[in-house]
Amino acid sequence: MDQEILAQTKQKMLKAIEVLKEDLGTIRTGRATPALVENVVITSYGGTQHLKMKEMATITTDGPRMIVISPFDPSIIQDIERGINVANLGFSAAVDGTILRISIPPLTAERRAEFVKLAHVKVEGGRVMVRQVRHEIMADIKRKFDAKEISEDDKKRFEKEVQTITDEMIAEIDVLRQHKETELSEI
């Protein structure tokens, strides 16, 4: 039972960190990255399909300031262009034959500062998700102790191990924050 609780705790916390990674990936840095556009929802085929960009095209980078999008179906290239422009991401797509090119403009100092603040907000949200998992597991351990399913020694040992896992996950979140701040400070 003890390994089950710890494995469940770690799995839930890792899921929270994955959500945070995706969230941080959407914050624009001065560099081109597929994560900036892969989750943009595109309406195509006369409004009958609503798919994410990554489901409709191959997204690559061409240098530090260019994203290249190659649709699986070239007939929807105008729909993709419209979807990116409507998404109001701070840049626009231009059709170049059968592909789209997106030039990423450099960030101003003010925009960088805004994005650092936004990253801090998202990181704090990740910490809250991890703490919420800890809170739920601790409550579950207490409930099992109160129901006499586990001994007091086991309760204390589980609580200590859950806290250790929590500390590891918070440290990983801090590494993600530092990495994002470094990306944002690069010119």
Structural domains of the chain sorted by starting position, each given as residue range(s) with its CATH number in brackets? 2-25+108-185 (1.10.132.20), 34-103 (3.30.1360.40)
CA atoms within 13 A on the CB side of 24: 28
Per residue in 101-136, pLDDT (tens digit) is: 988 887 788 888 888 899 999 999 999 999 999 999
pLDDT of residue 96: 87
Measured CA to CA in angstroms, residue 96 lies from 53, 89, 100, 157, 187 at distances of 17, 20, 6, 61, 27
pLDDT of residue 186: 73
Give the integer Cα–Cα distance in Å for 33 and 67: 7
Spatial CA neighbour of 79 closest among 103, 58, 57 = 57
Give the integer Cα–Cα distance in Å for 103 and 94: 9
Spatial CA neighbour of 44 closest among 70, 75, 6, 8 = 75
Prediction pTM value? 0.70
Please tell me the least confidently modeled range out of 25-34, 145-154, 167-176: 25-34
- Say which residue the tokens 């020694």 belong to: 153
Per residue in 38-95, pLDDT (tens digit) is: 888 888 877 777 888 888 889 998 888 889 999 998 888 888 888 888 887 777 788 8
pLDDT of residue 137: 92
